[in-house]
Structure 1
Amino acid sequence: MAAGLAAVEAPAAQAAATSTITVDYGADRGPATQIASGFLHGISATSPAQYLVDGVKVRSLRGADHHPNLPSLYDTATYQRVSATGANLRVGLYYYTANPSSPYRSYRPGDNGNFSTWTTIVNGVMSEAEQKGYRVNAWIPWNEPEAQWGSRYTTTYFQAHKVAYDAVKARNSSYRVEAPELSAYNFTKLQQFLIYCRDNRCLPDVLSWHELNPTTTDVPGHTAQIRSWMQANGITPMPIAITEYQGSSYGNPDAWAAGPNVRWLAQFERSVPNGLEDALTSDWDYIGDDSNFIATLGNSADKATGTLPKGVWWNYNTYKTMTGRMVNVTSSSATTVDALGSLDTGQRRGVLLIGNQTAGDQDVSLRLNNASALALSNVVHVRAERISNASTLSAPTVVFDADVTLASGGATVPLGTLPGNAVYKVLVTPATTSAPVTRYEAESLPMTASPGLAGRVFTEAGASGGAAAALDGTARGQYLQFTLPVSTSGVYDLRAVLKRLTNRAFHALYIDGVMVGPPQDGYGNVGYYGTDYGTVSLAAGNHTVRAVAVGKNPSSTGYVMVFDRFDLVRVG
């Protein structure tokens, strides 16, 4: 909810320890496509919870064909669930070595000079995909070959790559081959691979490697270096994919540190001009042969159940809302505090992630430039929430929520101290003090509930209309559904007033089947409170609004949801 109007003056001199993040909404950095919202082994048929998948943009997913423990894209239920996200699917041709039922399990391409068996394996994997009607974006001959093949990298592996490449292209010339999937950026080994492929007519359609490190590597420098070298050596640069990033080892929390993750995202966005196509976060929660494997969207959900978000999941949830165009964001100390941001004039919102790369507290000041496109009457609303680097996080903490007056299209907002490895999520939207509001008492809307349960209306003095609508839920997945009429098409800030209870559900809101805004945790001391689901475009007519109990705060005793009212605030 909008707080009081705050007039913000020109920036004062900052203390030495303060990192200044400057967002220039007038500097377009290209379309917002969530380039780094990809996941390794991130989704299986049953995990993680669906709202965790719905709450992020699954742009790309790399998985197995057949594997006894890892999610197999050749399991129909897994494929259908992953495919429904619209992700670019990447399949490794080499997973036969992990399949105990494969007759080729002990075979390695080139054994005793035999490559014909490798051709049979490659064709078998593609045949099954075609028979099942699967859509595969890229085929990967081998994973981390310089590590797995050792001194044979430049000999036997290169031959194995060509055999696989020729088999894929003979099958269908439009199929894409992705290689070499090095375990780390290595300029020399990439040069060796590309020279061989250039001279033997087996250049990959996608050039790939991994960027695995506890701290962010120079991804823009790497992608620029290899692209420039290709241009100078008779090779037309192909798209680049970083198919594993962040983290140093299994079980090490540096793989899901929220603050450093922001710099990874920012580095990938800065690499787009160099040809970056996709980046996929690593999966360090589980070793590949772990029979207890649970898909966690690349370390984003809790390992125990796959039903609760880690702190880093909220980064990707925010990243999903970076629609429209990316804008120029700079930091006075990027290796300490880095950031990335977007502007969507159609949705009337600017979205920003600011991440602390260090273990210590950092003061942060935010400078907005050329923000008039987001203003009503020269005023914007700024809401900043702190995402902690937690193993499970049911909700970020609001640290700033106020209208801000622009001076010459800009303003400075002091955000205060950002704890170690934590993140600020910042939303900049039009100020709504004078915006028209359409209010719906929840109990007056047509209402249904999960089969076997009934939504009920009860009277209570605390409710604005004297009554509220509730679901006395008993389990995750149950829902309360309303029909919301919209008289005029437009962009609205969707808000609700709910009742906080000690037995309250952790819920996600869906409009016409699409999750909007972040999930909401209403656990706490009894009382009514307001929540904001963000801006959404709604056409005139009736819309189905479904609140789904997706879980509960670990301290909650149940799955109750109580809605007092919905507000549609017209912002565009």
Structure 2
Amino acid sequence: MHIVRHRRTAAILTVLTLVTAGALASPAHAAGNTLTVNVGTPVRPVTHVASGGLYAVDTGATPPLEQMYPLRLNHLTQPPPGGQQLGNGATRPCCDGLQVAGKVTSAGAQQFFRMPDIYPNFPYRWVSWADWEAKVRTMVQARVGATAATNIDGWELWNEPDWTWNTAAAGPFTAAWTRTHRLIRSLDTVTPIVGPSHSYYNHNWMVEFLTNARDTGTLPDVIVWHELGNDDYLNVGAHVADYRAVEQSLGIAPRPISINEYASPSQVDIPSVAVHYMAVFERHGIRDAERAYWYEAGTLNGLLHNNAPTASYWAYKWYGDMAGTIVQTVPGSWLEGVASYDSTRRFVNVVLGGDSGNNTVRVTGLGALGAQVRVTLSRTGTGGRTTNQSAPVTVSAATYTVSNGSISVPVNGMDALAAYQLLITPASGAATWQQRYEAENATVVNAGRFSSGSASNGGYVGRIDGTANSRAQSFVDFLVNVPTARSYPMTIGYANATGATATHGLAYNGSAWSTVSYPPTSAWGSFGATVTTTVNLRAGYNVIRLAKGAPQFAGGTGFAELDYVQLS
């Protein structure tokens, strides 16, 4: 989202000259609220839904991979091959999706290519159908020819057509969608097509769009819209419910939902607003969501200034530290939060914010952590996108006695604009570093996440079947963080019901490929079997890939499902 884009921007900025934090200013007087975290009520696997951005990544060290890794980036929207867009006063095009593809993949993210950003101007200046279709051919052929590029999971056919599509010159957008969809599919039968990318959710627009797409056989693979108003985090649940009702009424199978622009220009850099979006996106089943591009490109959308963290960075870093399962949170007034439970380490990670004064976090379902737990409370600053914060502030650390599986933690003197973290661990015997990495928490490319009662943490990855090319190859990338450089034994939990030994390729940090063999097991989705291999890792972050197919790998044999990897 460029700063001049949105038709509501002027009104938003006028209002916010009067109230700095928008809707968050009023609840500053409403202390005494309780956020409830129910650790025993799982919501979904941790995939860091809200960790992404539009034009977030440029080439080189803008931003550095070392600052990207801790965020566990989920998804990005980048310009297409040869993109010429000059957003927000930029003097050169940036962030070409093919040029940054290796960096995006290394960070564990996937990306859409925003096709109309092949134009330099915004709003886009339509030339002709011949011009547009020639551009589409050039973009798609460039991607198809980039045989080493992976993690590109969508052509975003247009952006905010509700006000940027030139109907007078180009005809109705619904007809344009059909025509362009068919052209892309004639050139690339594999890469998903996503849209319609309206600037905000509108029931009537969605009905019109989906009816045409259904009737012409051009349904998007991922549905996209934007949430950019000051209070849009309040509306996400209603929008999702309405969209699902529209799908059902039209007989359309459920599509994943991407909110690939979120947060208004004045609120995008407020840590507590970020927490509100994290919470509602996780709660309402959004697949991925990306911070809007209102200001500078290549800064992870303001999480970095001069390649160093801002206050909001630490809220996303805490969110990035989540592993295992997202668990239920129940907000209290404007006190909102997102929480996870890592059953292997017995860690509960709560990120919260939105109210001022003295408030409480009540956490239930802690029986597995023991009779006493250690609770560390930290907070961000509120300095905005041009003020660096070198580290979060530790507010307190204390031991709590667990009563009936629950504790209540006071969070006093809250700032309504800051984000806070509660990290809850066993009082003794807490893990010093993460050793088990669940497959369903990893980067899953051309495969699927599934549930099983026998799987570690209840989830696994299956349908790791593709070998054809870099658009269809199937693999799972584990981003692991180890304390020292050395050789690590690595145990892999798996299932293989083919009746014969199956194989995957194994590579890490650009290493040569080796082979992992999986002897047959009793049934699909039934876990307990393991194999062990060895990986030589550097201190800090490493990417470990297990692949049925991947660039520079000839391809695995048979089929296997992945439960987890564990380093020891």
TM range (shorter): 0.5 to 0.7
Residue aligning to 2:298: 295
What's the counterpart of residue 344 of structure 1? 342
Give the Å deviation of 1:99: 8.4
Tell me which amino acid in the other structure corresponds to 1:72. C
Contact 2:54-2:292 within 8 A present in 1 as well: yes
CA gap of 1:339–1:308, structure 2 versus 1, over 3 A, is same
3-state SS in 2 of match to 1:55? helix
CA distance in 2, matches of 1:50, 1:363: 38
Q: Answer yes or no: is 1:85 the counterpart of 2:102.
A: no
The higher radius of gyration belongs to 1
What one-letter code is carried by the residue in structure 2 that aligns with 1:296? T
- Tell me what 1:517 maps to: none
> Using the alignment, how far apart are the partners of 1:482 and 1:367 within structure 2?
33
Return closer, same or farther for 1:265/1:483 CA change in 2, 3 Å cut-off: closer
Match status 1:199 vs 2:195: no
- Residue 185 of structure 1 aligns to a residue whose secondary structure is coil
Is residue 283 of structure 2 the alignment partner of residue 285 of structure 1? no
1:164 and 1:18, CA in 2 relative to 1: closer, same or farther beyond 3 A?
Answer: same
Of 272, 275, 278, the match for 1:259: 272
Aligned with 2:235 (options 207, 218, 223): 218
The letter of the residue matching 1:243 is: N
Structure 1 residue 256: Cα displacement: 1.0
Say which SS state the counterpart of residue 160 (structure 1) adopts: helix
Query: What SS does structure 2 have at the residue aligned with 1:18?
Result: coil
Q: How much is the aligned-residue C-alpha RMSD, in angstroms?
A: 3.3
State the SS of the aligned residue for 1:94.
Answer: helix
Which of 420, 425, 429 matches 1:424? 420
**Matching residue of 2:77:** 62
Instruction: Please list, as runs of the form range in 1=range in 2, the aligned pairs for 1:233-382 lying within 5 A after superposition.
Output: 233-247=250-264, 249=265, 252=266, 254-272=267-285, 276-286=286-296, 294-302=297-305, 305=306, 307-333=307-333, 336-356=334-354, 361-375=356-370, 378-382=371-375
Indicate if the aligned counterparts of 2:57 and 2:95 stay in contact, CA closer than 8 A: no
Report the residue type matching 1:329 in the other structure: T
> Is 1:407 matched up with 2:408?
no
1:504 alignment counterpart: none
| C-alpha distance in 2 between matches for 1:31 and 1:139 | 26
Match of 1:35 in 2: 49
- Cα offset, 1:487, TM superposition: 11
1:446-465 matched pairs, under 5 angstroms: none
Q: Which moved more, 1:150-159 or 1:221-230?
A: 150-159
What CA distance in whole angstroms lies between the structure 1 residues aligned with 2:168 and 2:211? Answer: 16
Asked whether the 8 Å contact 1:381–1:429 carries over to 2, the reply is yes
CA displacement 1:18-64 (0-9 Å, x = unmatched): 11111111111121111111111111113123322112111111011
Counterparts in 2 of 1:162 and 1:366: CA distance versus 1, 3 Å: same
Cα distance, 1:260–1:436 mapped onto 2, change above 3 Å: closer
Contact 2:237 2:280 in 1 (8 A): yes
Q: Among 249, 263, 270, which residue is 1:232 paired with?
A: 249
Structure 2: distance between partners of 1:383 and 1:405: 14
What residue number does 2:379 align with?
Answer: 386
CA shift, 1:483, in A, is 5.2
Deviation of the 1:489 alpha carbon: 9.9
Match of 1:51 in 2: 66
Instruction: Map 1:534-545 to 2 at 5 A.
Output: 544-545=538-539
1:141 correspondence with 2:157: yes
For residues 540 and 176 of structure 1, the distance between their equivalents in structure 2, rounded to whole angstroms, comes to 35
**Structure 2: how far apart are the matches of 1:257 and 1:16?**
19
**Secondary structure of 1:421's match?**
coil
1:118 aligns with 2:128: no
Partner residue, 2:4: none
In structure 2, what is the Cα distance between the partners aligned to 1:164 and 1:542?
A: 47
Q: Is the 8 A contact 1:284 1:299 kept in 2?
A: no
Q: Structure 2: any 5+ residue segments left out of the alignment?
A: 1-28, 87-91, 434-481, 492-507, 511-532, 542-567
Task: Please give the secondary structure, in 1, of the residue aligned with 2:33.
Answer: strand
Task: Tell me the secondary structure at the aligned position of residue 137 of structure 1.
Answer: strand
Contact 1:309-1:392 at 8 Å conserved across structures: yes
SS for the counterpart of 1:268 is helix
Shift, 1:165, TM fit? 0.5
Name the CA shift for 1:158/1:543 in 2 (closer, same or farther; >3 Å): closer
8 Å contact from structure 2 (residues 97, 113) kept in 1: no
In 1, Cα distance between equivalents of 2:77 and 2:53:
7
Any conservation in 2 of the 1:118–1:163 contact (CA below 8 Å)?
A: no
String of CA shifts for 1:448-497, please: whole Å, max 9, x gaps: xxxxxxxxxxxxxxxxxxxxxxxxxxxxxxxxx9957899999xxxxxxx
Q: Take 1:80 and 1:142, find their aligned partners in 2: how far apart are those partners?
A: 24
Residues in 2 aligned to 1:199 and 1:145: alpha-carbon distance in whole angstroms: 20
- Does the 8 A contact of 1:353 with 1:424 survive in 2? yes
Identity percentage of aligned residues:
25
Please state if 1:19 is matched with 2:38. no
- Alignment gaps of 5+ in structure 1: 1-14, 287-293, 439-480, 491-511, 515-538, 548-571
The CA deviation at 1:320 is: 1.0
Closer, same or farther: CA 27–545 of 1 in aligned 2, 3 Å: same
- The answer to whether the Cα contact below 8 Å between 1:300 and 1:310 also exists between their aligned partners in 2 is yes
Distance 2:153 2:375 in 1: 39
Q: Are the aligned partners of 1:230 and 1:237 in contact in 2 as well (CA < 8 Å)?
A: yes
Aligned AA for 1:221?
A
Aligned counterpart for 2:176 among listed residues 160, 164, 176? 160
Q: Check conservation: 2:485, 2:539, Cα contact below 8 A.
A: yes
| 1:235 Cα offset (Å) | 1.9
Q: Report the CA distance shift for 1:157/1:487 in structure 2 as closer, same or farther (over 3 A).
A: closer
Question: 1:245-284, CA deviations, whole angstroms, 9 ceiling, x for partnerless residues?
Answer: 001x4xx3x2211111101110101111xxx221111121
Q: Indicate the SS of the match to 2:174.
A: helix
- Change in 2 beyond 3 A, CA 1:241/1:153: farther
Structure 1 position 374, deviation (Å): 2.3
CA contact (8 A) 1:342 1:352 kept: yes
Any conservation in 1 of the 2:323–2:342 contact (CA below 8 Å)? yes
* Structure 1 segment 390-539 matched on structure 2, within 5 A: 390=383, 391-432=387-428
- 2-side partners of 1:353 and 1:226: how far apart? 28
Once the two structures are TM-superposed, the CA of residue 400 in structure 1 deviates from its matched residue by: 2.0
Which deviations, in whole Å up to 9, do the C-alpha atoms of 1:393-444 show, x marking residues without a partner? 1111112201111111111111212112011111111112x77999xxxxxx
SS at match of 2:220: coil
Report if the CA contact (8 A) 1:345-1:374 is conserved: no
Residue 188 in structure 1 maps to residue 201 in structure 2? no
Distance, in Å, in 1 between the alignment partners of 2:483 and 2:48 is 31
Distance in 2, Cα, partners of 1:436 & 1:243: 35
Cα distance, 1:154 vs structure 2? 11
CA distance in 1, matches of 2:179, 2:167: 19
Structure 1 residues 241, 389: CA separation in 2 closer, same or farther (over 3 Å shift)? same
Question: Structure 1 residues 55, 488: closer, same or farther in 2, change over 3 A?
Answer: closer
Aligned to 1:401, what secondary structure does the other structure show?
Answer: strand
CA distance in 2, matches of 1:280, 1:155: 30
Letter in 2 for 1:64: P
- Is the CA contact (8 Å cut-off) linking 1:382 and 1:429 kept in structure 2? yes
